C-alpha cells in the first residue's frame, strides 16, 4: 500500500466533486499535492487551508499547453509519484450536438491521452510511478443519450489496460489503475433513473483505497461490480432497448 506521507501527487481536474475530495484525503495524509483546473478562484480556495502543502496550476486540458503546465507543476512539487486524471466532460446529447461531442472528445480523449502518454514516459525514466484515471461504468457499453461520453470513457479504460499490460511486459515499476464510478452525487450527475448514488466523500475514499491497493481496475462504489457484469453480458437485442 502507498505510504501515508511524502508522496508527490498530481490530480488533473480537482476544483470540484471527486477530484477535490480526493485531493483533501491525500493532503490530510501529509502528502504534497498539485491540483489543476480551469477556475483559478476555486484552485485558490482549495489551496488556502494547506499552506506549503498544495500547488496549483490553472489550465484547460482542451488547450495546447498541457505538457508545459504539467512539467512546471512537477518542478514545483519536486517530482511526481502519482498522477490521477480526473478531468471529465459529458452531457446528454439528444440531438447529437457537435459542440458537446467536441468538448467531450477534447477533454476525455485528447487531453487524457496526451497527459497519460507524457506521464507514463516520465515514470519510465524515473523508474517508478502510478497512473490512475476516473473513467466511468459508462465505458462498458454504448449509450444513446450520450454516445460520445460512453465512447470516450471506453477509450480511457482500454488505453489504461494497454498501459497496464505494457508496464508488465516492460517489467517497469509503474502501476496503473482504472477507476469506474457509477452514479456519484456531483454536479456532473444528471438525468432520471439514477440509483445507488454515492456521496462524494464515500466515492473519494474508495478511489484512494483502490489506488493504495494498486488495483488495475476498481468499481466505485464496489456494488457497481454487479451492474458491470450485467452490462457486459447483456445480449445486444436486450441492451439496445434500454441503452
Give alpha helix (H) positions in the chain: 17-28, 40-47, 66-77, 98-105, 112-126, 147-170, 200-212, 224-233, 236-242
**pLDDT tens track for 43-54:** 999 999 998 889
pLDDT, greater one: 9 or 183? 9
Distance, in Å, from the CA atom of 129 to the CA atom of 140, rounded to the nearest integer, reads 27
User: All domains of the chain, ordered by start, with CATH?
Assistant: 8-242 (3.40.50.720)
Let me know: does 115 contact 83? Beta carbons within 8 Å.
Answer: yes
pLDDT over 60 (residue 189)? no
Distance, in Å, from the CA atom of 138 to the CA atom of 180, rounded to the nearest integer, reads 8
For residue 27, give the C-alpha cell: 493532503
State the pLDDT at residue 2: 42
**pLDDT tens track for 15-56:** 988 999 999 999 999 999 999 999 999 999 999 999 888 999
pLDDT over 80 (residue 86)? yes
Q: What's the mean pLDDT when you consider all of the chain?
A: 89
Amino acid at each position: 500500500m502507498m505510504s501515508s506521507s511524502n508522496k508527490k501527487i498530481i490530480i488533473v481536474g480537482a476544483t470540484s466533486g471527486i477530484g477535490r475530495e480526493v485531493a483533501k484525503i491525500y493532503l490530510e495524509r501529509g502528502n504534497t499535492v498539485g491540483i489543476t483546473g480551469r477556475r483559478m478562484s476555486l484552485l485558490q480556495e482549495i489551496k488556502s487551508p494547506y499552506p506549503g502543502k498544495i500547488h496549483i496550476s490553472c489550465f484547460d486540458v482542451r488547450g495546447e499547453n498541457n505538457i508545459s503546465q504539467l512539467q512546471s507543476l512537477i518542478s514545483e512539487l519536486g517530482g511526481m509519484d502519482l498522477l490521477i486524471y480526473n478531468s471529465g466532460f459529458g452531457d446528454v446529447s439528444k440531438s447529437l450536438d457537435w459542440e458537446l461531442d467536441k468538448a467531450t472528445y477534447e477533454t476525455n480523449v485528447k487531453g487524457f491521452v496526451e497527459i497519460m502518454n507524457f506521464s507514463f514516459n516520465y515514470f519510465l525514466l524515473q523508474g517508478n510511478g502510478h497512473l490512475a484515471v476516473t473513467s466511468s461504468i459508462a465505458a462498458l457499453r454504448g449509450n444513446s443519450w450520450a454516445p460520445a461520453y460512453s465512447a470516450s470513457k471506453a477509450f480511457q479504460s482500454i488505453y489504461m489496460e494497454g498501459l497496464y499490460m505494457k508496464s508488465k511486459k516492460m517489467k517497469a515499476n509503474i502501476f496503473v489503475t482504472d477507476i469506474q464510478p457509477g452514479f456519484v452525487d456531483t454536479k456532473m450527475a444528471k438525468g432520471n433513473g439514477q440509483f445507488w448514488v454515492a456521496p462524494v466523500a464515500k466515492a473519494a475514499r474508495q478511489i484512494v483505497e483502490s489506488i493504495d491497493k494498486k488495483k488495475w481496475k476498481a468499481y466505485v462504489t464496489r456494488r457497481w461490480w454487479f451492474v458491470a457484469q450485467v452490462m457486459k453480458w447483456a445480449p445486444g437485442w436486450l441492451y439496445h432497448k434500454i441503452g
